[in-house]
Structure 1
């Protein structure tokens, strides 16, 4: 056995895994002159595929070069990816984590996380172990055998889920794979999950590497400037508009263009609606912030959208929730101006593509529109409608539902959280009915204060994602709002929070079922089938018996979490204050009504209804569906014509 020698003749002898760790520890991102370490560390769960490779390399690094690539222990492979994603989003995609898992089930457990990262366009480096490159002992434990190809493994499933994929069969291939990975991870338009599959024997194989491979490397995150001719064309379209609106997406915040957006809005008088990722583009109480737009949008934003003759999309990919399944823009002459770093999004709805950084484009457009503003009555109407919706939201926070029914309504819980949180604190969510309520009702005051994963809307993201947020922003309290359905998917990382001393506050709303899908099911004529947690009834043979005696607060306590139980609104407020005042990870457990409906807008979401049915409720739902479907539109008119 040999030890790692000092550099000789411009090379250094390391295993492939040691080379990976050393390389990753020297990567930096830089934007606007600020340099930061790109990898905050590596999360990993070890098995026979990576324990002697990356496991050994991370141990050696921890002992010999502390801080090079700090190791963090996870409990679930999918959850580790979620932590990295939460961290990357909070850091505006300028930093992330690497994540390693063993061959087979460990690797394939990361597939959901990979899809989530790519759909949300958030950088994370996945290092799944792979089958033996030599195949000397094939088939090895956990190997997927395919008769049509002996080089296929479960890791090939990462190919369609990744923005970059490579498999390192030989050490000589590693430098190109690593550089390719960094190219994509630091590309604002093309980032997402990046996968480098590492065969377990290759990880432990030694090679003589050029020392230059491990020099500090800075990846500059540029700000593409819009073409002057395109800016003039966009300005001409906007000048001709009578009822323009802005759709502010996640690209506003990722580009740190919030102040540029405020300047543009105040100069032109154009109101904005916010997507899920765009919440916080402006503070909720800005007079021209109409709030959420689309299927879960506010009445104010949806009203202005329906009449809009020009839509200025900034950093949005126009998902079906944002467009209300293409029913929200009803003006037959509507045109689109799309500011985006990604050409895929810039050309959507036949819009004028302004392919540029959001801050640069907004600054240029503000100058090009100097002196132009919307009508005073238009601006006043926007402010009045936004204020009316906020008044309705505040009223729902204090509706008295809990006092009347003996169990709190979801909006009351959100109101209590809103009262306790400070402006810079972060609310986290991902799936269920909570994202819709948060999108429409949450009163965001800080550009990084709202973190709802709604590209994949992945149940179970909330707790690990919230841990990642807190790791990225240790000076902010993180409130993780989660229903019992999502909690049951992935509570395991609470142990990681305890182990690492990461303070997160989990607000668990237990309503004994799936509130979101239950309400959707009812609207589709499926009568909340399969959406309640109930015993199987011996008489009916169906799942319509009594409520299950599940105690999730006790479960959290068993994982080492400090738990506060609340039943009334006063108890809830006090529990939230105590959790915030503490230094340890905590849970506030509260029972809520499964079928309580928070105030909402009038957006529609296209989910098909059965064409034929013997059930009256389904037939009625089909009539309503066809009526909404008739309002669905395609947008093919070229902008500027």
Structure 2
């Protein structure tokens, strides 16, 4: 009979997680860097006690705990921290997150959605009410009159790539092993939820010692079928104007070198999705930069004329396809993706494989082929024209600056200063508002991990907690979290976590008195920026009064951050240098700068489909709807027969 050890379910969970490893290409690392959490009734005596016990025993033995614990301030935010860490580590490592019964756990729902949409692994351990129901109804329990076994944690089911609830101790091994399988699968990964009722967490059980042995989970690199590569290469050989769209899968696969080799040899130009930005470094001759609704004019011009489009590791989100208007009606597609779900989009040749493996095989198949020199010259010309527009945004002329109020900069100036004064390996971070689009268009990426914009869920409040995760993932890099006042107000509390953990992150807080992005969108859609300004309600009842006297710099200072307020380009440059020079263990630095929200970045000459009211008494809305119909006529279905249906 196998030896056993008596532990509670929570203690067994912590011990098990401490012994999980991931491995890819022969390199092994702990799967879990630690556990983020906020304790309350439901987990304080379960997972909380287990983490305390492990930490106490480890310190008594002069060792580090296998699952270090970090106290967060907001449950949604701690999931963002874990997601950012996992993304920065190419999905090879992540964190577990524990929360209390009821609102503590359901606060993680937004983080779960973000993780699953972005295909990023994170383990969620929401606490539940009593499995025995002996004290029901307990504080914060949902009572569903139609089903006795429903709890608020069932809300995690549609948001998770794997969900289980451990109602009996015997169920724990199967639940944990199932969770590890999904977390380490590059196709299936996302949020994984193992719900733990509070009484079950504290229940003791005799566990086989084998459950706590080290386990190494191999991260697969599935190769492409030879016939799929041959079919893709044949279609590309027929192209006169091919274009490659690099998505996040290029980064997660570590396929940047393979992509550069293919483009160097063939001359195929590259446009980048938000997740794929940085797949080629700034200055590469085939780089056209961002593509789609927030793209460069260079990439979008090439996209409109492309006859073969090669998607690598992209899920073809509407911003990437400009709501299906980026490509012409005759464009044919090659889709390379580790997930058949994504590889099957847009019709065309589907190549289900790891991005690095597929690009390497494709380069070999196309070894004797390249685009004409004239096509390379066109790429260089279009890129040169766009790069001049970036320079103008970074250094606006007197016609722009003289019109600004005292102390205001343009957002382009702010991004340019950070881009030029940060180190090549530093990370720029953003998630929501107008800055993700401006960064996508304007930022010059110099390192494969230097750009981190969450645009799958575009979640306001992601920036501050995510900056902590990135810094923990790689302490050798400074992290610049670019956040507007709207996003900052959603979730500034993790500045306290950064103070507590002495984690240096640099937050560039851009104050523009409202929602810059949605204000612009509202105006475009004929809604006149209604409800997007941070202003007093005026005597006529509208929100068009004076600006609010909210001092975000004082707020950040009150949370323990070092704050630098700037009112000119010169002061901003000095602040960036000062922040860079701050000690690595000195905690967060917040640079507060005010900008004019009516000065925009260069136009992408593209579109994003947001419906406009079909009938209205407002002339502005009527005009917007007419423009909407014009754009809508250019949308493509891409329903041409797929390569496989043609019998190839």
Normalised-by-shorter TM-score class: over 0.9
Note the C-alpha offset of 1:222.
Answer: 1.1
Match of 2:173 in 1: 175
For residues 197 and 187 of structure 1, the distance between their equivalents in structure 2, rounded to whole angstroms, comes to 21
Task: State the Cα deviation string for residues 214-237 of structure 1 (Å, max 9, x = none).
Answer: 000000001101011111111100
Which residue in 1 is equivalent to 2:359?
Answer: 362
* Structure 1 residue 297: Cα displacement: 0.5
Q: CA deviation at 1:151?
A: 1.0
> TM-score under structure 1 normalisation?
0.98
Contact 1:335/1:351 (8 A) holds in 2: yes
Instruction: Indicate whether 1:89 and 2:87 are aligned.
Output: yes
CA displacement at 1:403 relative to structure 2: 4.9
- Aligned-partner SS, 1:245: strand
* Equivalent of residue 386 in structure 1, options 365, 368, 383: 383
User: Residue 396 of structure 1 aligns with which residue?
Assistant: 393
Is residue 335–residue 638 contact of structure 1 (8 Å, CA) maintained in 2?
no
Alpha-carbon offset, residue 553 of structure 1: 0.3
* C-alpha contact 2:507 2:591 (8 A) present in aligned 1: yes
Q: How far did residue 384 of structure 1 move?
A: 1.6
Aligned counterpart, 1:559: 559
SS of 2:311's equivalent in the other structure is: strand
Query: What's 2:61 paired with?
Result: none
SS in 2 for 1:52: coil
Q: 1:636 aligns with which of 635, 639, 642?
A: 639
Pairwise CA distance, 1:387? 1.9
> Contact between 1:45 and 1:73, CA under 8 Å: does it hold in 2?
yes
Q: Describe the superposition over 1:596-634 as per-residue Cα deviations: whole angstroms up to 9, x where unpaired.
A: 211121110000000000000000001100000000010
Say whether residues 1:335 and 2:332 are aligned partners.
yes
> Which of residues 270, 278, 281 in structure 1 aligns to 2:279?
281
Distance (whole Å) between structure 2 residues aligned to residue 438 and residue 336 of structure 1: 27
SS of equivalent to 1:312: strand
Cα distance between partner residues in 2 of 1:284 and 1:576 = 22
1:521 aligns with 522
- Is 1:499 aligned to 2:500, yes or no? yes
Q: Number of matched residues?
A: 632
1:473-492 alignment runs, 5 A limit: 473-492=474-493
In structure 1, the residue matched to 2:570 is 570
Q: Tell me the residue number matched to 1:4.
A: none
Which position in structure 2 is the counterpart of 1:435? 436
Equivalent residue number for residue 602 of structure 1 = 605
- 1:41 is aligned, of 20, 30, 34, to 34
Shift of 1:9: 5.1
Aligned to 2:454: 453
| Inter-partner Cα distance in structure 2 for 1:140 and 1:211 | 35
Match of 1:200 in 2: 198
Secondary structure of 2:50's aligned partner:
helix
Greater CA drift, 378-387 or 16-25: 378-387
Q: Deviations over 1:385-431 (max 9, x none)?
A: 11221121012111043454131110010011011111100000000
- Partner residue, 1:108: 106
2:320 alignment partner, SS class: coil
Work out the CA distance in 1 between the residues paired with 2:505 and 2:521: 31
Tell me the distance in 2 between the aligned counterparts of 1:333 and 1:483. Answer: 40
What SS does the corresponding residue of 2:460 show, helix, strand or coil? coil
Structure 1 residue corresponding to 2:288, chosen from 278, 287, 290: 290
TM-score (norm 2): 0.97
SS of the equivalent of 2:510 reads: strand
CA distance in 2, matches of 1:600, 1:116: 28
- Identify unmatched segments of 5+ residues in structure 1: 1-7
Q: Deviations over 1:172-218 (max 9, x none)?
A: 00000000000000010110000000000000000000100100000
Q: How does 1:138-149 map to 2 (within 5 A)?
A: 138-149=136-147
CA contact (8 A) 1:352 1:638 kept: no
Indicate yes or no: 2:56 matched with 1:63: yes
> Which deviations, in whole Å up to 9, do the C-alpha atoms of 1:421-460 show, x marking residues without a partner?
1110000000000000000111011110000000000000
Partner Cα distance (1:233, 1:639) in 2: 12
SS of equivalent residue, structure 1 residue 349: coil
Alignment partner, residue 627 of structure 1: 630
Distance 2:528 2:455 in 1: 25
Which residue is 1:303 aligned to? 301
- The SS at the match of 1:354 is strand
Q: 2:164 corresponds to which residue? A: 166
Residue equivalent to 2:373:
376
Gaps of 5+ in 2: 59-63
What is the alpha-carbon distance in structure 2 between the residues aligned to residue 231 and residue 638 of structure 1?
19
**Residue of structure 2 equivalent to 1:3:** none
Give the corresponding residue for 1:547: 547
Tell me what 2:536 maps to: 535
Instruction: Give yes or no for contact 2:2–2:209 (8 Å, CA) kept in 1.
Output: no
Distance across 2 between alignment mates of 1:404 and 1:608 = 33
Please give the alpha-carbon distance, in whole angstroms, between the structure 1 residues aligned to 2:427 and 2:435: 15
